[in-house]
Every structure is written in structure tokens, then in C-alpha cells.
Chain A
Amino acid sequence: MELRRYIIRRLYQVAVIFFVILTVLFLLFRLAPGDPVSRMVDPDMTPEEAELLISELGLDKPLWIQYVYFVKNFFTGNFGHSFNYGQPVVSIILDRLPNTIILFTTSVILAALVGVFFGKIASWEKGSKKDVWMTIVALASHTVFVPWLALILIWIFAYKLGWFPITGMISEEVWLDPDSGPLAKLLDIIYHMILPLTTLFLIHFGSYLLIMRTSMLETLNEDYILTARAKGLTEKVVRNHHAAPNAALPVVTTVGLNLAFSINGGALTETVFTWPGIGRELVFSVSNNDYPLAQACFLLIALVVLVANLVVDIIYAFLDPRIRY
């Protein structure tokens, strides 16, 4: 009952926050310097042509009327057409989103699994050389500059060694070959994923390792750990069955939030690897004042993050019965 009331209260909060985000986004784009038509204009366009285009795009209307249309269109699922692509925004996002989800979700899960595993070991052997090195590696990988790391990996493994493709998600040799079956195409995608996945894995696993390590160190001071040892359980059992599950709770939160944030892609990673995801599209749309596309991308991210937060809060409440609000 208490949990149900909590969920309802959180849903209401999510709705209000989302509406505020909707409004702020609208204002941000309209009031930011830059003019979407100027980007579509070149020396051959007359001011009259520009005015016609502005009028057809609805940008000549007063701000409050544009806002009303914007909110109405949102709730009717009409996100409009991209100024640059001329296509419905929804189709552009649906085109790019799966690519981002495949890559970033895989990297988050892999990084979490490996980070948790090594974080557990590092905390158990706190102060040892193993712990020191793992911490250093985790910090270094977490703070490395993403495009630099990506380019180094491309240079070494794609260019020098020739083991992997330089960029892209697929090879035209495979996809244009009429004899290529679905398996070959799937393997081709996975093959192209390895380098960007490695980049993202290296960037993220460090943070999971450090979170898990810190959380484990706190958990190891709990009374029930002492009790477990006193009962004569082996160190391995104490670590894996008593300490780690409780210590993993913060990691669960982080994974949940990172999975949500993975929706926005990593613009840098996607750009360097030419991975056709939503992150790259977001950057292009913002820098080209493509309002409809940029707004839709940000709204999607906001919605996913809010829902992810809500889901994580609820999962937390299930995982730990002591947590109630």
C-alpha cells in the first residue's frame, strides 16, 4: 500500500518535471542565438524567399502560438519534419535509435559486469598491489579523453594491424553482395562494433569498478559480515553471497541511469567511429538549428531518464525492503 502510494506520487512528479522540461526546451531553442533559416539559406536565396520559408515553417508566428502548437503536436505524437532532412522526425529517430541502443547498452552491461567483478576483488584485497593497480587503471580509463582513445584504437587496431574496420557500422562489401545472408550481416555488424564497444567499455568499466569497490568496503564493516565469518563460512562465500549482493545496489542504480543515458549515445564516440546513432544526430541538429529534430531528441532523452529514475527507485524498494519513502 505504502509502495503503491509512493509509485503514484513518483508518477505525478515525473509528469510535472517532464512538462517543465518540454517548456524549457522549447524556449531554449527559440531564444538561443542562431536562425534555422540562415543555415538553409545560401547566397542564392533572397530575403523574400527566406521570409516565405520562415512563414511555411511556422516560425513567423508569435512565440506563444508556436508553443501551443508545440505542446499540442507533442501530445498527438506529431514531432514535425526535420528542417534539414525534410523527413518526419520520428522516422529519423527510429532509424538511429536502435544503433545507439545496441552499442551503448551492450557496453554498459559489459562494463558493469566486469567492473563489479574486479571491484569486488579490489575491495577484498584492499591495500594490495592488485588493488592499487586496479584502482589506477580504473581512474585512468575513466578520465581518458574519449576521441583520443578512439583514434588511438583505430590507429593501432584498424590502421596499423588491420584487424578491424576503421569506422562505420557495416561493410558495403557484405551488404551489397547478393549472396550475403542474415548471419553474415549480423556478424558484420558485430565485427564493426568491437572497436567502439572497446572504447566505451574502457571508459565506463572504471567507474563501476570504483563504485563497487567503495560500496564493498562500506559493506564489509557491517555486522552481518562479521556474523557470517563467525559462522565459519569461507571468505569466498562471505564475499560473493553476503557482501557483494548488498554492495551492488549502488551499481544497480548507476547501471539503470547509464542505460537510460545511453539513449543519447555518445556524440564523440559515434562521430569518431561514424556510428549512425542518435548522439551524432543530436549534435548535428543542434548546431544546424534543426529545431524539430533537436527538440525531439532531447525530449526522448528526458523521458527515458525520468522513467529510468523511476524504475530504479522502484527496483531499489523491492531489493531492499528497508527502503520506504
Chain B
Amino acid sequence: MARVFLPFPEWDNNNIALNKPLQGVIMHTIHPFRIKSGYRVAVFIISLAALFVFFGTACPKAWSGHMMKVGLLEEPKTLNIWLASDAWSRKVLRLMYQTLYIRDPESLELIPWLAQNEPDYDAQANTYTVKLRDAKWSDGSEVTSEDIAFTGRLIKEFNIPRYASKWKFVEKIETPDKKTAVFYLEEPKAIFLSRTLTTPIVQKKEWEKIVEKARQTEKPLVTLLNHEVKFPVGSGPFVMKEWRKGAYLFLKTNEFFFGRNQDIAGRRLGPYIDGLIFKVFGTSDAAILALRKSTIDFFWWKIQPGYLEDLKKGKNIRLFSNEKSALYYMGFNCRKPPFNDVHLRRAVAMLIDKDFILKRVLQGQATQMISVIPPGNKFWHNPDVPLHDQGLTSQERIRKAYEILNNAGYSWESAPIGEDGKVVEGKGLRLPNGEQMEKFTILTPPADYDPHRAMSGLVIQEWLKAIGMPASSRPMSFGALLEKVKVSRDFDTFVLGYGSLSLDPDYVRSFYHSRYDKVRGFNKTGYQNPDFDKIADESANAMDPIKRQKLIWAMQKIILTDVPVVPLYNPKLIEAVRTERFQGWVEMLDGIGNLWSFCQLKPK
């Protein structure tokens, strides 16, 4: 009879035979004097784990109701609307605090939301009159014009970051009655409708005590921002019920939501679900597994290309692909040589193969950007701007870039076009003054932060080297990168992006106007062009949309001619949902995670 190899010396002494291993194990398991303490511990732990497996898999779930489970990649940081700067907090708060106007999902036009109708504009008095629809706060009290006035005054008094710039030209707000708010502007402002009137409105009753307390402190703004809000009083479709930190947030539907059973933008609104549970996942891998396992119904973040094939095979999983209002680009430091020379910038723009970046780096999951406004923002996007590398082969791009630089007085140790006219590797580019071009860096975020930008920097480096430019891609931590670009302004070029651009194009003015070329200013590249400044200032005050459109288009043309930036791509937003429980997702620019979806989703 063969002996079982048993790993424990004491068992060996009992001569357990091969044909009775189970008998031996049982004998030893139930005979405590033969089991050493360590084994007892091991048996205990394994038994406990088995119990829990049973507990976890066999016990019926206590869950019921039409609750949608949404996965987030990070936990929201705060429910204080004024402090919330991270995407996660804003996603949740957007479901509670509402604005006077909102974007129609199809036309992207601003339509009344808390407001009853379009604002009345009085050109002589320079006022806007907004009438409120009947609406209640989640505590059952009425939303009145006093709440709107209070919100505006609060923002102006405390200079609340991210909001103050949108209200600074509002001189005063009057409330002739409970349903009417009159805004007096210092001067006509095109962004008033799209930026000011899309500010979330807060309840005066909730915030006036907090404001009063903050006023009495040494640092009123910080006191206001640091105020902990546990249960925001909002007017939106959902209201906070419970936030168990580190685990989940539970929002239930707001019975007082003004849109319930209303037809707005041709859509009958709910919400029709009982609530939302936001679960946090530390990694995309875990979230995708949870989605595949039906632990969540929707993962509210972009799906990286690497997961797509797997998800496509999944049963009851649907993928949505939408454009974002985003721009990822290469920027130059126009404040100092050599990139203060427009010819050099145009040559660099010519050398960048955007098609390659799109197909190879982003695996086709992006739209090419030819202008600084995404094409999805149809009304404001100018399709007729100077194109640089479009449709050219790499050799053609090098020839064109060589031509630009040659005509501008650049020379080489070894030119990229040989005497026989063939394209060769260029070496030692010299500036028009005869000096050798010094090594310069292309700063990018690190690969673990954004692999696409990091890779884009690398490939651009190679294309520039091919013509003799001593480029060097340098990934660095995002905080350090921002500090170099926005604060110390000590850089040559960078690859950065705006992941969520406003649908109002006023940012084009902010990003390239010379007025904003300052420390922490919006004008990162230091671009200075008085002609651009003039048109940009005019666009800010142009109240006629068609006139404003012409100005915005002209601004884009100037930018793409002077090339302080090279627009690269706009990544597509791929999102995934499970289909067996809910239906009715509304697709629009910036994805399906929008208010319309949450107000229209229905249980199957």
C-alpha cells in the first residue's frame, strides 16, 4: 500500500494509507489531540471563509427597488458646491443643484430649466429679466427669485473661485416679485446667458446662516469653502440620503423635483428610478469587472480602449460612443526664443502626423482636432482654418517643413533634403541668427496619469528630430507640470489638454488674449496679438449670435495661422452600461451621464 505524502511529520507517524486518505484527514480533524495548534488555526480560518462564501453567495440579497448602481473611479471630495472642484463631486452635485438654463441634448442650445422661458433683454437698460417656473427645494419650500439673487450676491461678495469671473459684470440683481429676477449688467456680455445663468442656484435659507458665520471670521472665503454640507438642499431630481464615506453615496429621488411629469425639450421627465447608489472603485479594472458581473449598472467614466474588445463580448452590455467637448494640444512658449518665431511653430505643426496619433496612439478612439473648438460644438467650430499636416505623407511633411524653415532663414549642419532632392535625416538645425538650436523639452503628464499625452510627446519628439530639431519629450508629475507652465512659466513646449470645455466659446478669448498672459493666467503660451485681442474683446460683448459666430470663427483662423498651439485630438468618450435593468439613456456631447438620462431612465 502506498503511503500518502502528508506534509506534517506527526501524521507520518500514523501510517495513513493511500486508499484511506479521507479517513485519515477526518480522523485527524476530529481528533483534537492529534492536531497542532497551528493546524487548528488553519482549519478554523478555512471553515470561517467557507461560511462567509456561503453567506455571501447563498443569502438572499436584501436589496429591492429600482435603484441604479453607478460606479465611480474616485469618491467625491465634498458636497459643498463652492468648494467642489473635482469631477466626482461635481457629478453628484449636478444631480441636486440646478441652473436657470440647461443645454438641449440634441441642439445644444440653452433652454429654460428653472427659468420659465427665455430671458427678456432690455438693450437700453442693459438688463435681463428672468421668470422662474414653479419649483420647490427638496425640503418642500418654494424656489424664489430671492434664492437667485442671494446666489449671485454670495458669489460676488466672497469672490468664489470658478464662479466670480462669471458674475463680475453683474452690477446688481433685483427681485420685484417672488418669481422674477432682474439682472443689471455693467455692459453687454455675450457670456451672460451661457456662463452666468448656468450657475447652480442655492437656497438662501440654507446658506445665509453659513454666510453670516463666515463673514465674522478672519478668512471668510476659506470658512465658507470649508463648511461641511452633509445634506444639500437642492431643486434637482435627486436628494442626498446617505453618504457612507469610503463606501457609497445614496441619492433617492426628490419628490419635489420641478421637472417630474413635465414636458421639457419635448421629453417627459421623471425620474422613473427610485434612486442612485454610487459605489467607488479604486481602479478601472475593478470597476469593469463589477460592470461585467452586474454589481453596477453604469460605470461613470471613460472606458479605455484596452477594455473595449472584452466589453463588446459581454452579454447585456452596451457601449456608447460620444464626442467630448475637449481639446488636447501641444503648446509653445511664445514668450522667448526660439518658439516666439511663428515660422518655427508652423514647421512643428507641419511635422506632427495627427492621423498617426489618432490611429496608433488613441487606437481610433478620438476625433482629429483642426481648430481649438471641437467639431461637435457645431455652431462655434470653424471648419475653414489653415490646415498643416492634413493628408500628407511623412516625406511630404518634412519637405513642407523644410521649405517653411528654409524660407525663414534657418539652416542645418546636415539638411533633411539631400542634394538629390531625397529626404534624409536632418541634423543640427540652426536658427536664423546662425546659432545652433538648443535642446528643448516637450513636457507631458506621466504615462500613469495619461498614457495618450505621454505617448504623443514621444512620437512628436521623433518627428521633430527627423528634421534636425533637438527635441526631448519629458513626462513629469502633473502638479509639477502645471507649476512650470502656469506659475514659473519656465518651459519650451508642452502637451496638455482641457477635458471639459464649456460649450460657450468664450474660453478662446481667455486662452489667447494677451490680458491673460500672467502667472496662473489662462494664456499659458504667452501669445500676444493685438488684432486677436481686439476681435476677442468684441466677441465678449457681441449679443447677436451670428455676429458673435463670425468673430469667434475669425479668432480661430488667427490662432491656427499663428499656431501658438497645435490642436491634436479630442478623445471620444466611450461609456458602458448594463442593459437588463434600465433603458432610456440620452446621448449628447460629453456622454450619457447627463441630467436628461437620469430623468428619463426607466426600469425594464
Chain A residues in contact with chain B, CB under 8 A?
A: 32-35, 37-53, 56-57, 81, 84-87, 95-96, 99, 110, 113-114, 117-118, 121, 125, 130, 147, 151, 154-155, 158-159, 162-170, 172-177, 179-180, 187, 190-191, 194, 270-276, 280, 284, 287-289
Contacts and interface: CB of A to CB of B under 8 A. Distances in A.
Given A43-B507, A86-B80, A33 B479 contact: yes
Given A33-B483, A49-B162, 9 more contacts: A42-B85, A44-B165, A45-B165, A84-B85, A86-B77, A114-B41, A164-B52, A276-B246, A288-B479
B519 A52 contact: no
B261 interface: no
Contacts of B510: 43
B226 A166 contact: no
A85 B77 contact: yes
A109 B112 CA distance: 61
Contacts of A162: 57, 293
A68 B498 CA distance: 38
B41 A113 contact: yes
A173 B166 CA distance: 42
B235 interface: no
Contacts of A53: 161, 221
Given A39-B482, A173-B63, A191-B56, A87 B41 contact: no
B585 interface: no
Residue from A43, A130, A190 with most neighbouring chain B CB atoms (10 Å): A43
B242 to A, nearest CB: 7
4 A-B pairs closest in CB distance: A276-B246, A34-B479, A33-B480, A177-B62
A33 B52 CA distance: 47
Contacts of A50: 161, 520
Contact of B52 (A110, A158, A175, A194): A194
B486 A38 contact: yes
Given A168-B280, A172-B247, A176-B242, A38 B483 contact: yes
Contacts of B166: 44
B521 interface: yes
A37 B519 CA distance: 12
22 contacts: A44-B165, A45-B520, A52-B161, A85-B78, A86-B80, A86-B225, A117-B38, A121-B9, A130-B7, A147-B283, A166-B293, A167-B281, A167-B286, A172-B244, A173-B61, A173-B63, A174-B62, A191-B52, A272-B283, A274-B280, A275-B282, A287-B478
Contacts of A84: 77-78, 85-86
Contacts of A51: 520
B22 interface: no
A47 B52 contact: no
A113 B49 CA distance: 18
Contacts of A289: 479
Given A47-B521, A271-B282, A274-B281, A33 B484 contact: yes
A42 B90 CA distance: 13
A141 to B, nearest CB: 16
Given A86-B80, A86-B83, A173-B62, A270 B480 contact: no
B83 to A, nearest CB: 5
Given A41-B520, A49-B161, A191-B52, A271 B246 contact: no
A34 B226 contact: no
Contacts of A173: 61-63
Contact of B290 (A166, A176, A180): A166
Nearest to B507: A43
Interface in B473-500: 476-480, 482-484, 486-487, 498
B518 interface: yes
Contacts of B86: 84
Interface in B40-90: 41-42, 45, 49, 52-53, 55-57, 61-63, 74-75, 77-78, 80, 83, 85-86
Contacts of A170: 244, 247-248
B415 interface: no
Contacts of B106: none
Contact of B227 (A40, A45, A86, A158): A86
Contact of A155 (B52, B226, B289): B289
Contacts of B257: none
Interface in B5-23: 7, 9
B162 A42 contact: yes
Interface string B217-230: 00101100111100
Interface in B195-231: 219, 221-222, 225-228
Interface in B76-111: 77-78, 80, 83, 85-86
B128 interface: no
A43 B498 contact: yes
Contacts of B56: 163-165, 191
Nearest to B478: A287
Contacts of B78: 84-87
Contacts of B486: 35, 38, 41
Contacts of B507: 43
Contact of A175 (B221, B244, B479): B244
B412 interface: no
Nearest to B36: A117
Contact of A272 (B62, B282, B516): B282
Contacts of B479: 33-35, 38-39, 287-289
Interface in B508-534: 510-511, 516, 518-522
A91 to B, nearest CB: 9
A34 to B, nearest CB: 3
Contact of B246 (A87, A96, A287): A96
B245 interface: yes
Contacts of B293: 158-159, 162, 166
Given A86-B227, A180-B62, A272-B282, A166 B250 contact: no
A81 B225 CA distance: 10
Contacts of A174: 62
Residue from A46, A165, A177, A270 with most neighbouring chain B CB atoms (10 Å): A46
B295 interface: yes
B286 A49 contact: no
A288 B87 CA distance: 14
B481 to A, nearest CB: 8
Contacts of B242: 176
Contacts of A154: 285-286, 289
Residue from A45, A158, A287 with most neighbouring chain B CB atoms (10 Å): A45
Given A173-B63, A176-B250, A270 B282 contact: yes
B289 A56 contact: no
A310 to B, nearest CB: 31
A173 B59 CA distance: 12
Residue from B52, B164, B221 with most neighbouring chain A CB atoms (10 Å): B52
Contacts of A113: 38, 41
A117 B36 CA distance: 10
Contacts of B164: 46, 49
A187 B477 contact: no
A299 B118 CA distance: 55
B343 interface: no
A190 B226 CA distance: 34
A173 to B, nearest CB: 4
A229 to B, nearest CB: 17
Contacts of A118: 38
Nearest to A50: B520
A287 B197 CA distance: 34
A163 B248 CA distance: 21
